[in-house]
Amino acid sequence: MYFEMKDIEVNYDHIRALKGISITLEKGNIITLIGANGAGKTTTLKAITGLVKIGSGEIWFKDQRIDVLPPQKVVSLGIAMVPEGRHIYPFMSVKDNLLMGAFLRRDGQEIKKDMEMVFDYFPRLKERLRQQGGTLSGGEQQMLAIGRALMARPELLLLDEPSLGLAPNLVQRIGEAITVINEQEKLSVILVEQNAKMALKISNKGYVLETGNIVLEQESKDLIKNDHVRKFYLGG
């Protein structure tokens, strides 16, 4: 299996945030985790990247166990994360924000090519190249956050609430961009989203998290038809 989480538990003090969840991802696919606030979605991504320590279970990526590795080593293996809230560098230019995504790389010419690749996906960033990140609109900042992650040249991209706070038309554009990047770059994606409609539309498989448990696991096209999902996550 390309990527697998096996019976992962995470505890915050005396609170169990993840209660033995298991997730698999095939290479080149998009999976989505949907659920309400506090369900454990962000904690799942942080467990993958090593930003939180797991209490039990195992995480495997390309036949290597990664839950025992520090975050910087996880990144070097080809896993990049776009955090909730974007967390760009507000006083740095768009160009310098993008270059920060390539800080582990030493292949200068390839970095230039990858920056042009980012501009192909998000032309607005090229127009704002010398502008400070903090002066961009919310949608532009999200494009910058995704572009910065792509500059690490990842194989697996973790996206935490990329549509958060965006207008409906921008949500659609971000969803379309994720789909195109997945197809053209052969990039595997784990997408955390409260916008279940968008997430299930662009993903191959979905997991529904509730209070740290996976309560449903199906192909996305089937989850869209599920009565529980329709009632609680798709508005009836």
Residues 169 and 207 in one domain: yes
Residues 161 and 228 in one domain: yes
Q: Which range marks the domain in which residue 231 is found?
A: 1-78+154-236
- The mean pLDDT of 62-70, rounded to a whole number, is 96
| The total number of structural domains that make up the chain | 2
Instruction: Please report where in the chains the tokens 């698999």 appear, as a residue.
Output: 24
- The mean pLDDT of 140-159, rounded to a whole number, is 94
Q: How far apart are CA 124 and CA 140, in angstroms?
A: 7
Q: Which helix (H) or strand (E) holds 143?
A: helix 138-150
Pseudo-torsion of CA 52, 165, 21, 155, nearest 10°?
-70
Residues 113 and 147 in one domain: yes
Instruction: Please report where in the chains the tokens 């538990």 appear, as a residue.
Output: 9
Among candidate residues 189, 192, 118, 204, the one with its CA nearest the CA of residue 156: 189
- pLDDT at 198 exceeding the cut of 90: yes
Q: Which helix (H) or strand (E) holds 179?
A: helix 168-185
pLDDT band at 235; cut points 50, 70, 90: confident
For the chain, the average pLDDT equals: 93
Beta strand 188-193 with 3-12: parallel, antiparallel or unpaired? unpaired
Among candidate residues 123, 124, 117, 121, the one with its CA nearest the CA of residue 102: 117
Share of the chain above pLDDT 70, in %: 100
Residues 59 and 8 in one domain: yes
Residues 62 and 176 in one domain: yes
- pLDDT at 209 exceeding the cut of 90: yes
Beta strand 56-61 with 3-12: parallel, antiparallel or unpaired? antiparallel
Domain boundary pick from 132, 152, 172? 152
- pLDDT at 114 exceeding the cut of 80: yes
- pLDDT at 135 exceeding the cut of 80: yes
Q: Which residue has the higher pLDDT, 216 or 236?
A: 216
Residues 136 and 199 in one domain: no
Residues 8 and 57 in one domain: yes
- Specify the pTM: 0.94
Interval 30-64: pLDDT, tens: 999 999 988 999 999 999 999 999 999 999 999 99
Q: Return the pLDDT at 52.
A: 95
Q: Return the pLDDT at 236.
A: 61
